[in-house]
Amino acid sequence: MSAPLADEPARRTVRERRLVHRGPIWDVVADDVELDPGVVVTREVIDHPGAVAVVALDPDDRVLLQRQYRHPAGLEMWEPPAGLLDVVGEDALTAAQRELYEEADLRATRWDLLVDYSTTPGGSTEALRVFLARDLVEVPAAERFEREHEEAGMPARWLPLEEAVDAVLTGGLHNPNTVVGVLAAAQARARGWSTLRPAETPWPHRRRHVMADVDPRA
């Protein structure tokens, strides 16, 4: 019997690394990387802190999606609660719980790891961890987070999981967290949730910190 299929960590020699752009959230670095002996190519990489997303399911297996404007795509996208891993020392599960509370006024008493993925492995270090949140509890009005900017007016919709799957497969929904999260949740449910992993599962594929040896962020 063959071993389970899995991506494997790999390294190539970086001959030179240059900071192309320093941004408030992520940087861009240019690597001169030796792919094979004597074969050196330049690859520009977005050094991203990573992010989490939350597929929240209610007792009727409806998934929560919120509409948010995404400027690079030029779309108002329906997507699950999500956020950057930009709080120093915060683990992924805590970040997901915070995002569900801040963006959706919800807490959950049951958390599982649904799926991990890399958003753009050809050009970014961004790693995404998608959690499944169930046994939801609405946050009392007096304890709710005060949202601002684009998050202040995000419409929300509870959609049966089957309808969300149809919307993905017919091209209506494009946000990667929605596509990956909805399809993974549907497949996990079809398998009796047997594919779920503990929410605290180690995450070795999170950010590479490619700028750590160049110009550390203050």
Q: Is 151 a catalytic residue?
A: yes
The three-state DSSP-derived secondary structure of the chain is: CCCCCCCCCCCCEEEEEEEEEECCCCEEEEEEEEEECCEEEEEEEEECCCEEEEEEECCCCEEEEEEEEECCCCEEEEECCEEECCCCCCCHHHHHHHHHHHHHCEEEEEEEEEEEEECCCCCECCEEEEEEEEEEEECCHHHCCCCCHHHHHCCEEEEEHHHHHHHHHCCCCCCHHHHHHHHHHHHHHHCCCCCCEECCCCCCCCCCCCCCCCCCCC
The answer to whether the beta carbons of residues 111 and 91 sit under 8 Å apart is no
Name the catalytic one among 151, 162, 163, 200.
151
Give pairs for 26-29: CB < 8 Å, separation 24+.
26/124, 27/211, 27/217, 29/210, 29/211, 29/214
Task: Please give the positions annotated as active site.
Answer: 151
